[in-house]
Amino acid sequence: MRYLVTLLLLAGVLTACHASGPTVELNGQRFAVEIAADDPTRTRGLMFRESMPASNGMLFIFEEIKPLSFWMKNTKIPLDIFYFDNDLKLVNVVENARPCRTSRCPSYPSTGPARFVLELNAGSARALGTKPGDQIQFINVPKG
């Protein structure tokens, strides 16, 4: 499985060298993404941001596949949280996760093991018509 993901990532990089930065494609729509591949960056995520362009997002990359859970502490914008497995297939999506500014924020878990998480503005999942099993493509995304 790990080798398959590496090959898919490499293929994405080689076939899209013209893209200027990390990009993902989901259901025909491309999003420029910031990469969160280490603990400090993943912990901060999109906290304290006032807004995010509709064509942007954040891609979280984890070293191993496992059940994941995100929360919205200090996040100011509502988000859709997409969980993907090693094969880049959508496990589940949490729609419209609401900002939380208190010390007790709800968590939003994956329904199964995941390795990649994409955060987009709330409403993106509905607009894209996503469903479990949908495939994400990585373009100029580091291997993690």
SS3 128: helix
3 has pLDDT over 50? no
Task: State residue 103's pLDDT score.
Answer: 85
Of 106, 135, 98, nearest to 118 by C-alpha is 135
Task: Domain 2-139: give its CATH superfamily.
Answer: Protein of unknown function DUF192 (2.60.120.1140)
Which sign does the torsion angle of CA 23, 35, 83, 3 carry?
positive
Instruction: Provide mean pLDDT across the span 61-81.
Output: 96
Q: Taking a C-beta distance cutoff of 8 angstroms, is the pair 92, 56 a contact? A: no
Cα separation, 17 vs 22, in Å, equals 10
> Does residue 2 surpass a pLDDT of 50?
no
Domain ranges for the chain: 2-139
Q: What pLDDT, on the 0 to 100 scale, is given for residue 101?
A: 86
Of 28-32, 41-45, 75-79, 99-103, minimum mean pLDDT range:
99-103
Pairing type for strands 29-36 and 56-71 reads parallel
pLDDT computed for residue 143 by the predictor: 60
CA torsion 134-138-142-144 (nearest 10°) is 10
Q: How much of the chain, in percent, has pLDDT values that exceed 70?
A: 85
Q: What average pLDDT does the structure give for the chain?
A: 89
User: What is the rounded end-to-end Cα distance, in angstroms, of the chain?
Assistant: 15
Using a 10 angstrom Cβ sphere, with 0-12 exposed, 13-18 middle and 19 or more buried, the burial of residue 13 is middle
